[in-house]
Amino acid sequence: MKSQKLLPALALVSLFVGAALFAAEEKKDAPVSKPAGCCAKAEADGKVCEHGCCAEAAKAGNNCEKCHGSGKIEPKHEHKK
Ligand SMILES: [Zn+2]
Ligand SMILES: [Zn+2]
Ligand SMILES: [Zn+2]
């Protein structure tokens, strides 16, 4: 008996949370600098992405849009020793 009432309520809550997440996502969409997934993965492994399209984009200082990156590559502030 209880679960029959609980289920629709849960569905409603998850819908609500989903909408809230979607709204939050929409808010911060302005000038995004998002590395392509392949590039981020390669960088995490300490490598450079091997995709030609990414290399081309990187030369121009951009994240590869073909691989779902966007915007400019953010300058890294590395400490030189
Ligand atoms: Zn890449
Ligand atoms: Zn690419
Ligand atoms: Zn790629």
Model pLDDT for residues 21-63, shown as the tens digit of each residue: 777 766 655 568 999 999 999 999 999 999 999 999 999 999 9
Its pTM surpasses 0.95: no
Q: Provide the residues around ligand 1 (an ion) whose CB is within 5 A.
A: 36, 38-39, 49, 51, 54, 67
Q: Write phi, then psi, for 34 (nearest 5 degrees).
A: -125, 115
Domain boundaries, the chain: 1-30, 31-76
- List the alpha helices (DSSP H) in 1-81: 2-27, 37-44, 52-59
Q: Pull the structure tokens for residue 64.
A: 């590869």
pLDDT-derived band of residue 4, with 50, 70 and 90 as boundaries?
confident
Q: In this predicted structure, what is the pLDDT of residue 29?
A: 55
72 CA distance to ligand 3 middle (Å):
16
Residue-wise pLDDT tens digits, 50-61: 999 999 999 999
Is a pLDDT exceeding 80 seen at residue 66? yes
36 CA distance to ligand 3 middle (Å):
6
User: Rounded to whole angstroms, what are the CA distances from 20 to 60, 66, 70?
Assistant: 36, 29, 24
62 CA distance to ligand 3 middle (Å):
13
